[in-house]
Amino acid sequence: LLGMNKNELAIKYYNNAFNSLNKLPESEQKETLRLLNYVNLAMIHQKLNNNIKAVKYIDKAFNNKNLKKENIIYYGYLKNILAKSIYKTQKKQALSIYAETLQIGDSINFAPIQVASQLQLGEYYLFYKDTLKANTYLLKAKEIAHKNQIFDDELITLKLLSKSNPSKSNYYSERYIQLNDSLLAVERATRDKFARIEFETDE
């Protein structure tokens, strides 16, 4: 649902997931699922420009003081979301957070965090009109995203590159359209598949 832009419905289901989790006994798996919910809800609210709510869910996750030690991947995700939620108003603080998440992504060689950090730094420098630095980070993000088939982030990177590199705007716009069309075709096929399953189940 999050990937299909059904944000309000996604929020509803994630909140339902919290209600279900609260009925389970405490365990390492329960804590992991709770963290995943915090990450997803923070991402949705950030996408909707509800940055205050996004930070609220991040703060809840950081109530676990051992989070960095116990789950470095979710810690990195949450730090990236936090930096993006504050970079327009707290410039220096955002940069220090991005420096940390870049180091985390590289140290564990985890492509999603590497891409998120490079992409968001590119967006950060584009916002502050430093297109040279923006291009450096965005090109690296595109390379890692393409190599690891992280297509949603590759789409965002292509759109930003068309703005940060006007001389190649047409090229990046065409690549964006090609990739977006391919992803829409996959999405339609997935919806058709679920529709058939639902119909056959009713039958």
Question: Which position has the higher pLDDT, 26 or 1?
Answer: 26
Range in 81-85, 178-182, 194-198 the model is least confident about: 194-198
How many percent of the chain have pLDDT more than 90?
44
What is the token pair recorded at 54?
């996004």
- Give this prediction's pTM: 0.75
Interval 129-188: pLDDT, tens: 999 999 999 999 999 999 999 999 999 999 999 999 999 999 999 999 998 888 887 666
Buried b / exposed e across 94-108, counting CB within 10 Å, b at 16+? beebbebbbebbeee
Interval 41-80: pLDDT, tens: 998 998 888 888 888 999 999 988 888 988 899 899 899 9
In this predicted structure, the answer to whether residue 200 has a pLDDT above a threshold of 80 is no
